[in-house]
Chains A and B, each alone.
Chain A
């Protein structure tokens, strides 16, 4: 009897101290496998060990603290059936192995018509990977990568590969390699996503006819890089502080027939950087306080720039590598608003300046030959350098806007600054002694 009790005691201790490692995973996987098609599985506020494969159309609902943790050797969640819905989960710890044909991800989707909502993904190679998956909805997903310094060791926030007609909206991606990467992916729509601290916030390769609206890119090495992709619509996006030696708000490289409309490019190294691209229409954008507003390489032709506000940039626009042919700085008699950069009169009050604006510069040669010249773009010496060179070296025409728009009226900030200035002067003149007495014991009126 004693031996039996001892055996039971040791057995129970073993059970408590060494629980079976994969029991939770097998349990969750087994539970999912046992579900009927269309069933809803509600998960508890606890950590479930992954990885899991979903091979029937089911809905999995988590809550605030539901975590699915992978074993670090595979995808954490693989969706292999159409019509799956995942909501309110934290997904973490996919494989980071790069020596494999498999592109690992927190959530890997192979099928169509799935919904992924309110998910948080951390410690995964790619956040979400859509592989030949169409008509999926990815909304309100938060993806955190390893940080801006890591490029090769990690993947992209959302990687869309040979996948069409997907909707990606209200997602927040930070610190991954690229924020959203579209590779041979057409007709996808992305709205109101927020992407920061990545290499390229948005990266299009061989992806046509996608729509990208009202997204925000901040503090990426490059805001959006559109390469070999055509007929895209980029509208209402904000490209803010994409600021580094080779940074840009938007890069158009071998990209044709794209419409870039009503976007904001603010405080980037280059607002828009165009190389080997043709027939792109850039209209109604606000391009301000960038080091270079528009950098246009001569290999690019037939761009149309119209109704943009291009102001307070160190260099408004520069053409590099020879003179680009047939780039148009006005369309249907409407040019661009060059703000305070170029003085303009509009005596007949028709909103169009009375004379064309031609910008000449000698900086193109320096920018073309020496990459370190970008380090001087914030230096006030640049203005003097330009003026000196104007007299000594042949300047080249950077752009000619035949119908510049008359600048918008002044703002209310001026009144505020004037009021504050007046207050400061009054304090300085009349109230200084009072201040002296207040702050310094010996500061009495003399």
Chain B
């Protein structure tokens, strides 16, 4: 509990969390203004998809930075050494720190999206299930990139390294991963489509989007061809769960194995 409290106090004094939150607030309000012309009954879904498509550019990089700098700060201020000289192992420190990070980042975001729901209520017919799926998608994405950020913070030894790794991870998931898959696309057949599907859904951005769009009923999965059916071999929710587990475990393992206790300005 005191990790959460410590994390909270550290973050509200820094600019990072406020910057992240203000960007999310700004984007969501501007999208709400842009969406006022949409129809009362279906505009809600358009708003959610538009909001997600915009916010997806910011949440990953903000969470990566918050996660990475939060861990790195412990190195800079030598508090990591102090914490680890007690009975704590690095794994236990990382898990507690991650829990603190999740709470500190998710609570304000969820609080904002609760207020946002009240604002939407005046313009559109609400679908609470769809909104819950939207929140789940945002939360999953935040958790995942916070954990990746924590891993970056763990193995980086300088701020420049953090910036470099963070931008690389962001660039990889935004461009490189899909670009590599696009290069393989002409060779995808019914025999190897499942492998391709695993590759596709390893990208958290694609997985979260698919989960949101199918979960809200916006993306129609009807009338699928045999190839597409083989591609979608399980439900989008399970793809998301698998993706979350894979990247969480990978990030935590990377952080524990490659962590460095010292960091310099």
Residues of B within 8 A of A370 (CB): 185-186, 188
Task: Tell me if B219 and A379 are in contact (CB < 8 A).
Answer: no
Task: Tell me if A413 and B34 are in contact (CB < 8 A).
Answer: yes
Task: Tell me if B175 and A432 are in contact (CB < 8 A).
Answer: no
Known A-B contacts A382-B182, A417-B30; the reply to A219 vs B175 at CB < 8 A is no
Task: Tell me if B42 and A218 are in contact (CB < 8 A).
Answer: yes
Residues of B within 8 A of A322 (CB): none
Known A-B contacts A219-B218, A370-B188, A443-B13; the reply to A376 vs B25 at CB < 8 A is no
List residues of B (210-243) whose CB comes within 8 Å of A's CBs.
213, 217-225, 227-228, 231
Task: Tell me if B178 and A366 are in contact (CB < 8 A).
Answer: no
Q: How far apart sit A241 and B18, CA to CA, in the bound complex (Å)?
A: 34
Range for the number of chain B residues in contact with chain A: 35 or more
Residues of A within 8 A of B223 (CB): 151, 199, 221, 244-246
Residues of A within 8 A of B168 (CB): none
Task: Tell me if B175 and A380 are in contact (CB < 8 A).
Answer: yes
Residues of A within 8 A of B136 (CB): none
Task: Tell me if B33 and A219 are in contact (CB < 8 A).
Answer: no
Among B9, B22, B182, B209: residue with most chain A CB under 10 A: B182
Task: Tell me if A413 and B8 are in contact (CB < 8 A).
Answer: no
Residue in A148, A149, A432 whose CB lies within 8 Å of B15: A432
Can you list 11 A-B contacts with CB-CB less than 8 angstroms, sorted by A residue number? A148-B220, A197-B217, A218-B42, A219-B217, A241-B42, A366-B185, A372-B228, A381-B179, A417-B26, A427-B22, A440-B8
Nearest chain B CB to A95's CB is how many angstroms away? 25
A153 at the interface (CB under 8 A from B): no
Interface readout for B40-51 with A: 1 if CB under 8 Å, 0 if not? Answer: 011001100100
Residues of B within 8 A of A321 (CB): none
Interface residues of A, Cβ cutoff 8 Å to B: 148-149, 151, 196-197, 199, 216, 218-221, 238, 240-241, 243-247, 266-267, 366, 369-373, 375-376, 378-382, 384-385, 413, 416-417, 420-421, 424, 427-428, 432, 435-436, 439-440, 442-443, 446
B39 at the interface (CB under 8 A from A): yes
Q: A372-B228, A424-B23, A440-B8 are in contact. List 19 more A-B contacts (CB 8 A).
A: A148-B220, A151-B223, A238-B39, A243-B218, A244-B220, A245-B220, A370-B185, A370-B188, A372-B188, A381-B179, A384-B175, A384-B179, A385-B182, A416-B33, A417-B26, A427-B22, A428-B22, A432-B15, A436-B13
A267 to B, closest residue via Cβ: B46
Task: Tell me if B34 and A243 are in contact (CB < 8 A).
Answer: no
Nearest chain A CB to B195's CB is how many angstroms away? 13
B93 at the interface (CB under 8 A from A): no
Q: How far apart sit A240 and B178, CA to CA, in the bound complex (Å)?
A: 27
Task: Tell me if A381 and B186 are in contact (CB < 8 A).
Answer: no
B19 to A, closest residue via Cβ: A428
Known A-B contacts A247-B220, A424-B22; the reply to A379 vs B206 at CB < 8 A is yes
B84 at the interface (CB under 8 A from A): no
B88 at the interface (CB under 8 A from A): no
Task: Tell me if A436 and B12 are in contact (CB < 8 A).
Answer: yes
B196 at the interface (CB under 8 A from A): yes
B181 at the interface (CB under 8 A from A): yes
Interface residues of B, Cβ cutoff 8 Å to A: 8-9, 12-13, 15, 18-19, 22-23, 25-26, 29-30, 33-34, 38-39, 41-42, 45-46, 49, 53, 174-179, 181-182, 185-186, 188, 193, 196, 200, 206, 209, 213, 217-225, 227-228, 231
Task: Tell me if B18 and A432 are in contact (CB < 8 A).
Answer: yes
Among B9, B18, B196, B200: residue with most chain A CB under 10 A: B18
Known A-B contacts A416-B33, A421-B26; the reply to A378 vs B209 at CB < 8 A is yes
Q: How far apart sit A130 and B129, CA to CA, in the bound complex (Å)?
A: 37
Residues of A within 8 A of B228 (CB): 245, 371-372
Residue in B8, B176, B193 whose CB lies within 8 Å of A381: B176
Q: How far apart sit A216 and B46, CA to CA, in the bound complex (Å)?
A: 14
Nearest chain B CB to A217's CB is how many angstroms away? 10
Task: Tell me if A240 and B46 are in contact (CB < 8 A).
Answer: yes
Residues of B within 8 A of A266 (CB): 46
What total count of A-B pairs have CB within 8 Å? Answer: 135
Residues of A within 8 A of B175 (CB): 380-381, 384
Task: Tell me if A385 and B13 are in contact (CB < 8 A).
Answer: no
Residues of A within 8 A of B181 (CB): 376
Task: Tell me if B45 and A381 are in contact (CB < 8 A).
Answer: no
Known A-B contacts A219-B42, A432-B15; the reply to A375 vs B200 at CB < 8 A is yes
Known A-B contacts A371-B227, A380-B174, A416-B30; the reply to A443 vs B9 at CB < 8 A is yes
Q: How far apart sit A415 and B176, CA to CA, in the bound complex (Å)?
A: 35
Nearest chain A CB to B246's CB is how many angstroms away? 19
Q: How far apart sit A151 and B222, CA to CA, in the bound complex (Å)?
A: 9
Known A-B contacts A370-B188, A435-B18, A440-B9; the reply to A385 vs B30 at CB < 8 A is no
Task: Tell me if B182 and A243 are in contact (CB < 8 A).
Answer: no
Q: How far apart sit A199 and B9, CA to CA, in the bound complex (Å)?
A: 53
Residues of B within 8 A of A199 (CB): 222-223
Nearest chain A CB to B8's CB is how many angstroms away? 7
Residues of B within 8 A of A369 (CB): 186
Residue in A380, A381, A428 whose CB lies within 8 Å of B18: A428
Nearest chain B CB to A445's CB is how many angstroms away? 10
Nearest chain A CB to B16's CB is how many angstroms away? 11
Residues of B within 8 A of A432 (CB): 15, 18
Residues of A within 8 A of B225 (CB): 371
Nearest chain A CB to B103's CB is how many angstroms away? 14
Residue in A196, A218, A379 whose CB lies within 8 Å of B178: A379
Task: Tell me if B12 and A267 are in contact (CB < 8 A).
Answer: no
Task: Tell me if B33 and A372 are in contact (CB < 8 A).
Answer: no
Q: How far apart sit A371 and B174, CA to CA, in the bound complex (Å)?
A: 21
Residues of A within 8 A of B49 (CB): 241, 267
Residues of B within 8 A of A149 (CB): 222
Known A-B contacts A241-B45, A241-B218, A372-B196; the reply to A440 vs B22 at CB < 8 A is no
Task: Tell me if A413 and B33 are in contact (CB < 8 A).
Answer: yes
Residues of A within 8 A of B196 (CB): 372
Residue in A240, A244, A382, A417 whose CB lies within 8 Å of B222: A244
Among B186, B200, B220: residue with most chain A CB under 10 A: B220
Residues of B within 8 A of A221 (CB): 220, 222-223
Q: How far apart sit A220 and B220, CA to CA, in the bound complex (Å)?
A: 8
